[in-house]
Amino acid sequence: MTKSFESLAGLNKFIHEPARLAILTALSACKSADFMFLKRLTGLTRGNLSTHLAKLDEVGLVLINKQFKGKKPNTIVRLTNEGQEAIEKHWRQLERLRKETNEWKPEG
């Protein structure tokens, strides 16, 4: 079981943060998403979502494209290749950890 706990400690804490995990997971299921869709899906406030997207953009996990639809601003977000690889790796680690802990039997 110690190995499982070591695996847990080795998770990428930046990605594992609940809001960022939700954003990355949502984006991994589609080609791109607009800001308002992500806001509704994640339940985050505009400011909180904007802050998390900026952090994800800074480390190269997402690309943000700001444009206008008519006179209204429209922000489109998509995963980079690095972002897609990172979220897939994270979910593989979580699945492996879940499997290891489900197979664990206490001694005694």
Structure tokens at 15: 């990605």
Number of domains into which the chain is organized: 1
Say if 85 falls within a structural domain: yes
pTM (2 decimals)? 0.88
94 lies in some domain: yes
Confidence band for 93, pLDDT divided at 50, 70 and 90? very high
Report yes or no on 28 lying in a domain: yes
Domain of 18 in residue numbering reads as 2-102
Contacts of 87 (CB under 8 A, 6+ apart): 15, 24, 25, 27, 28, 61, 79
Tens of pLDDT, residue by residue over 40-90, are: 999 999 999 999 999 999 999 999 999 998 999 899 999 999 999 999 999
Q: What is the CATH number of the domain that holds 98?
A: 1.10.10.10
